[in-house]
Amino acid sequence: MRDIGIDLGTTNILIYVKGKGVVLNEPSVACIDKNTKKIVAVGIEAKEMLGKTPDKVEVIRPLKDGVIADFDVTEEMLKKFIKKALQKRLLARPKMIICCPANITGVEKNAIREMAERMGAKQIYIEEEPKVAAIGAGIDITKPSGSMIIDIGGGTTDIAVLSLGGIVNSNSIKVAGNTFDQDIINYIKDKYKIIIGEQTAEDIKITIGTIKPTSTVTKEITGRGVSDGLPETITITNKDISESIKQDIKKIIEATKQVLENTPPELCKDIKEKGIILTGGGSQIDGLIEVLRKELKIPVFISDRPLTNIVEGTGILLDNLNLIDN
């Protein structure tokens, strides 16, 4: 029997299989035939179809802002991912850990639990992402000492203070990697009067994205003109990206300050000494560490494997079920 850990991310789904490690990391995207309502592709294959499909085919992201927007599609997508990860159907009834944002409701947790039961899981544990990310990043959360983590994923940024095996204080905001992409799309449309797609925006963010440019870096992009609808190529700079995302970076900083303001003084002292750990794909944007250090006046570090900390944390939990609350 292969126990499974799942990072149910808005942008990517990652699967850990006990004894094998991380076996799958694919986009949380599904391609659906509008006539039959059947899924024709998921993951990498489906993402490549974004913005390129005929009318009868729809490419969707069934997870939005850190929660499941379409449970039926998510369930079918997960079944395909698990089958691919295990190279067979889920025949045995394994333990399954599924990670979700810190502010998920009880109703949403129950819906995820029921979905996992239908997929064949025997024991189901729903864990909060910042706690599991901290474990995956190598933080010993069992000690009577405060640790702080900022997990900037695709749909949400989860900020948490942990001690004695649990979350003491947390905040979750719907500002993260996908929000940055939309910021870039909106800014380029307003300033340069061309429309670009999600994949182009993501590529811009990854290649020249920055919060505090120290020199000018340029990139040529092609989009559709707002006025005439014709293809148009322009040159943008990293300063454009800094300008486009600055308001959402401020929201992350403010949310972090709120968590610190509501944290017991003794734990704040620990955090000041140990620093804050960043994780998640959005944490990799250039200049973020420097801006956070300046604004929070606390040391800030990025984990060694920010993209896989959560799913690696599920692997540790599968071996240490005593760390699980439910």
Report the CATH superfamily, name and number, of domain 137-175+245-302. Answer: ATPase, nucleotide binding domain (3.30.420.40)
Whether 77 contacts 68, CB under 8 Å = no
Rg (CA), the chain: 20
Task: For 165-218, write each residue's pLDDT tens digit.
Answer: 889 999 999 999 999 999 999 999 999 999 999 999 999 999 999 998 989 999
Find the mean pLDDT for residues 80-87.
87
Give the CATH fold of the 178-241 domain: Actin; Chain A, domain 4 (3.90.640)
Find the mean pLDDT for residues 225-237.
96
Pairing relationship of beta strands 123-128 and 4-8 according to DSSP bridges: unpaired
Pairing relationship of beta strands 276-279 and 147-152 according to DSSP bridges: parallel
Q: What is the DSSP string of 27-46?
A: ES-EEEETTT--EEEEHHHH
d(CA 185, CA 125): 37
d(CA 283, CA 290): 12
Q: Which of 9-13, 27-31, 41-45, 49-53 is predicted least confidently?
A: 49-53
Q: Which of 72-76, 265-269, 270-274 is predicted least confidently?
A: 72-76
Map out the domains of the chain as residue ranges.
4-28+64-132+309-323, 137-175+245-302, 178-241
Q: What is the pTM of this model?
A: 0.92
Give pLDDT, residue 326: 54
Question: SS3 for 35?
Answer: coil
- The β-bridge partners of 221 are 234
Q: For domain 4-28+64-132+309-323, which CATH number applies: 3.40.630.10, 3.30.420.40, 3.30.70.260, 3.40.50.300?
A: 3.30.420.40
- State which of 115-119, 152-156, 235-239 shows the largest mean pLDDT: 235-239
Q: Over pLDDT 70: what percentage of the chain? A: 98
